[in-house]
């Protein structure tokens, strides 16, 4: 739905509200016309049901309004003496239309000073839970979201088992595009394993103002642009059923910014012809091959002594080994292992074709280590569209700036001419910014080299804080990585845990509370 369609829908709701409540407004000592004025009628209704005016704001917050509006329906009929469980269920199941019955078929007097305290302990619990869910939903949607690192694509920068807080407000929180969804879950309801949302209606893309833009080398959480999770896959093969904000969450490093020319040379990223400099805390990893002096390695020893977590393979016929991921620091130590006869970094050669890399047409001799150069699209910039350049921008034009924005774009080629919806085009102007995101674990990361650009409207937020880190590679049992608990994601030098300072503050706070209470009782 477009903003115009939503506005028309909003006006229709005002008509429905007026027709179903104008008599109730009169019984409460208000004027009938007050039920017809958008927003003002909601403020008056809060006075009628004896609830704070700020509830009106909750009615306009997507997802939160799905919780608060049914509460307002119940509060409305209870303001006129309709307190039975059956009527409470009826007004919810009829999506508020039971209020029409109370409005036209009853003459119950308005209860002026209605007791707002729940009449049972269960009611009090339900009330508390509802508003706890509302508060948590607002925080989760617009401020801070918990996130777990599930894969090793950013090892050793972010580790599998790191539990993060992802800031929504740094880059500006997105207003949920999916209007009807289960609160505080992503695409699936836990335990039930069913879809947590309805595909329609959709709210047009809108991002609240942030206080910073994405900077080069920022670690970014985003919705995976080409999400093809089988369960929600559109079998037509053209578009995906999952809305943008319900696509799977990924986390990578933003190495290419809008307007950049990017290439990968021997596994190293180059921006505008110069090798990318990574921040202090970035610990890129690469694959290595070599030969032992006759004995295999012990995997647990490799983990404990050299922090090798992605495993290794060994061929006893020729004593050759392959290590999937090894940081520069670990390599400097591992190359001196008494069982290592030789070791070198594995790099795909120039000219070796990997048809699985972007733009996935198999026409370029590119691979993960030798790639590009390519242009990173920037909002407002116009590029030439030819049969040769079309594969780079086809997904952008058809899907990211077509289907996902409500336009049915189709690109095709007729001889040497590119057609957009059947009409010849030779250029295209981008409607939003795009980013190139890669993992620090360069030979064990599915990233933009595979599926291409990340649109700005897919950006979720910025990881800022590790509140827990769980190591599942520990010998014999899992353990907490205490040195990573309460550390920041960004910064210079090695991360320092703030947990001791937090514990000191907690002890001081509760000690102060204890002695304050003792003093008051004395």
Distance CA 92, CA 170 (A): 38
Is 252 catalytic? The answer is yes
Residue 293 burial (C-beta neighbours within 10 Å; 0-12, 13-18, 19+): exposed
Catalytic residue among 242, 246, 247, 252, which?
Answer: 252
The tokens describing 379, both together, are 């909002």
Residue 36 burial (C-beta neighbours within 10 Å; 0-12, 13-18, 19+): middle
Q: Where are the alpha helices (DSSP H) in 3-120?
A: 3-27, 40-48, 55-58, 64-78, 85-93, 98-105
**Which value, in Å, is the radius of gyration of the alpha carbons in the chain?**
29
Distance CA 494, CA 263 (A): 29
Distance CA 225, CA 453 (A): 8
CA distances (Å), origin 63, targets 6, 170, 249: 15, 21, 19
C-alpha 17: how far from its chain's center?
35
Distance CA 217, CA 271 (A): 12
Q: Minimal CA–CA distance to 92: which of 126, 69, 120?
A: 69
Q: Minimal CA–CA distance to 363: which of 329, 390, 327?
A: 390
Distance CA 168, CA 172 (A): 6
The tokens describing 284, both together, are 């890129």
Distance CA 96, CA 49 (A): 15
Is 462 catalytic? The answer is no
CA 380, 384, 385, 387 torsion-angle sign: negative
Q: Minimal CA–CA distance to 253: which of 286, 276, 229?
A: 276
- Whether 287 and 326 have beta carbons less than 8 Å apart is answered as yes
Catalytic residue among 153, 167, 196, 469, which?
Answer: 153
The tokens describing 507, both together, are 């002890």
Catalytic residues, by residue number, are: 153, 252
């Amino acid at each position: 739905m477009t903003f115009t369609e939503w506005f028309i829908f909003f006006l229709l709701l005002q008509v429905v509200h007026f027709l179903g409540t104008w008599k109730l407004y009169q019984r409460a000592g208000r004027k009938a016309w007050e039920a017809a004025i958008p927003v003002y009628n909601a403020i008056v209704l809060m006075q009628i049901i004896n609830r704070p005016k700020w509830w009106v704001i909750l009615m306009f917050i997507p997802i939160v309004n799905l919780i608060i509006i049914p509460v307002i329906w119940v509060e409305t009929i209870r303001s006129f003496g309709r307190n039975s469980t059956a009527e409470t269920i009826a007004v919810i199941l009829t999506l508020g239309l039971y209020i029409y019955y109370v409005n036209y078929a009853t003459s119950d007097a308005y209860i002026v000073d209605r007791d707002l305290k729940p009449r049972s302990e269960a009611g009090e619990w339900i009330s508390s839970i509802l508003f706890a869910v509302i508060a948590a939903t607002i925080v989760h949607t617009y401020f801070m979201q918990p996130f777990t690192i599930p894969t090793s694509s950013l090892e050793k920068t972010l580790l599998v088992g790191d539990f993060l807080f992802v800031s929504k407000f740094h880059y500006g929180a997105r207003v949920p595009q999916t209007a009807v969804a289960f609160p505080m879950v992503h695409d699936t309801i836990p335990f039930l394993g069913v879809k947590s949302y309805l595909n329609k209606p959709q709210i047009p893309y809108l991002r609240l103002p942030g206080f910073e833009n994405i900077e080069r080398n920022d670690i970014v959480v985003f919705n995976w642009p080409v999400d093809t999770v089988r369960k929600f896959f559109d079998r037509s093969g053209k578009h995906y059923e999952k809305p943008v904000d319900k696509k799977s969450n990924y986390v990578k490093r933003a190495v290419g910014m809008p307007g950049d020319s990017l290439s990968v040379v021997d596994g190293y990223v180059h921006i505008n012809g110069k090798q990318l400099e990574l921040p202090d805390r970035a610990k890129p990893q690469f694959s290595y091959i070599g030969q032992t002096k006759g004995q295999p390695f012990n995997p647990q020893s490799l983990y404990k002594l050299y922090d090798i977590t992605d495993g290794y393979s060994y061929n006893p016929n020729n004593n050759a080994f392959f290590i999937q991921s090894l940081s520069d620091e670990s390599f400097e130590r591992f190359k001196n292992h008494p069982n290592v006869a030789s070791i070198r970094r594995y790099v795909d050669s120039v000219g070796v074709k990997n048809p699985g890399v972007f733009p996935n047409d198999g026409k370029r001799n590119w691979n993960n280590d030798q790639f590009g150069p390519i242009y990173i699209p920037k909002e407002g910039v116009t590029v030439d569209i030819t049969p040769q350049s079309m594969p780079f921008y086809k997904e952008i034009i058809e899907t990211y700036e077509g289907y996902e924005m409500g336009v049915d774009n189709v690109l095709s080629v007729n001889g040497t001419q590119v057609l957009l919806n059947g009409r010849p085009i030779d250029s295209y102007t981008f409607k939003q910014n795009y980013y190139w995101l890669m993992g620090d674990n360069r030979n064990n990361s599915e990233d933009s080299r595979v599926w291409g650009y990340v649109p700005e409207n897919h950006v979720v937020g910025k990881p800022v804080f590790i509140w827990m880190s769980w190591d599942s590679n520990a010998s014999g049992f899992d353990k907490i990585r205490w040195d990573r608990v309460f550390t920041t994601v960004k910064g210079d030098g090695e991360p320092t845990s703030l947990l001791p300072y937090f514990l000191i503050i907690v002890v001081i706070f509760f000690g102060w509370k204890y002695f304050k209470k003792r003093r008051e009782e004395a």
